[in-house]
Amino acid sequence: MSAPLVILPDPPAPPAPLGLIAAGGRLPILVAQGMRAAGHTVHCIGLAGQYEDELPGLCDDFTETGALKLGSWGRALRRFGVGHAVMVGRVDKAKLMHDWSTLVRNTPDLRSGMMWFRLRKDRRSGQILAAIADELAKDGVLLIDSTSHIQEHLSEAGVMTRRQPSAGQRADIDFAWPLLQELLRLDIGQAISVRERDTIAVEAVEGTDRMIQRTGELCSASGWTLLKGARSGHDRRSDVPTVGPDTIRNLHQAGGRCLALAAGDVIIIDKPDTLALADKLDIAVVGMPSA
């Protein structure tokens, strides 16, 4: 069954204030910079223990709260006078779901606990995101497309590096692209690795970086290809597929030599630097037309 189409609200015109719910990594920094460049004031909620040290200095207002405290999120955004917000950043889903020490440090508030109970039959990323959006909407805050202010960092159709994919890598992409689309349709993961028309690994809850490491352990020969994308109708309010310099370094270390991305559906963190690094490490980066 295909995912229901989610109609997202348009971002407000500047100088309207925008909220930013920030987890880890560079992405919240790029979004904050994009919001400011567009003329918005940025009012940020940093999830405790996850956001980068640089982030508070890019925001007009900043408050820290737990990752599992939805009530605090809503109260802070109301206090900032925010009606629209973006939620971005990297959260270790496997640790959040299975590491009790992490749960203790981020004790859920009542709203989060009730939401988690309602989701007891289906806790896939899409269902969690929709539930969070519904909770924030009760506080008058609408989540918008998380790529709205970082369009220049999205993948493009065609070869994005000087390094061109080999004939064998192109054949692997042609072989594996339909498999990736089925993987995405089933909401299992966002990536698959192949070599010589043979599937090596598929991504699940561990995330792309750990899946790359696993592929390197399973495939002793270098030259394999990683494909990554988003399913049709993917909810772009959060969890948009993302790659960056660490992805390229991990690929190189594990023996990967080609990266195929769904055009327009994958964020490339610090895109110019990431593509330059791929060329330096002899990795081709290709954008495939989205389904």
Quick: pLDDT tens for 167-181: 999 999 999 999 999
Mean pLDDT value across the chain: 91
Query: Structure tokens of 14?
Result: 């500047």
pLDDT of residue 291: 58
Domains 18-143 and 154-288 share a fold: no
The whole-angstrom separation of Cα 138 and Cα 18 is 17
Per-residue pLDDT, 4: 55
pTM of the model: 0.88
Q: Tell whether the model's pLDDT for residue 89 goes beyond 60.
A: yes
Structural domain boundaries in the chain = 18-143, 154-288
- For residues 275-286, one letter each, b for 16 or more C-beta atoms within 10 angstroms of the residue's C-beta and e for the rest, the string is bebbeeeebbbb
CATH class as words, domain 18-143? alpha beta
Distance, in Å, from the CA atom of 147 to the CA atom of 98, rounded to the nearest integer, reads 29
CATH number for the segment(s) 154-288: 3.40.140.80
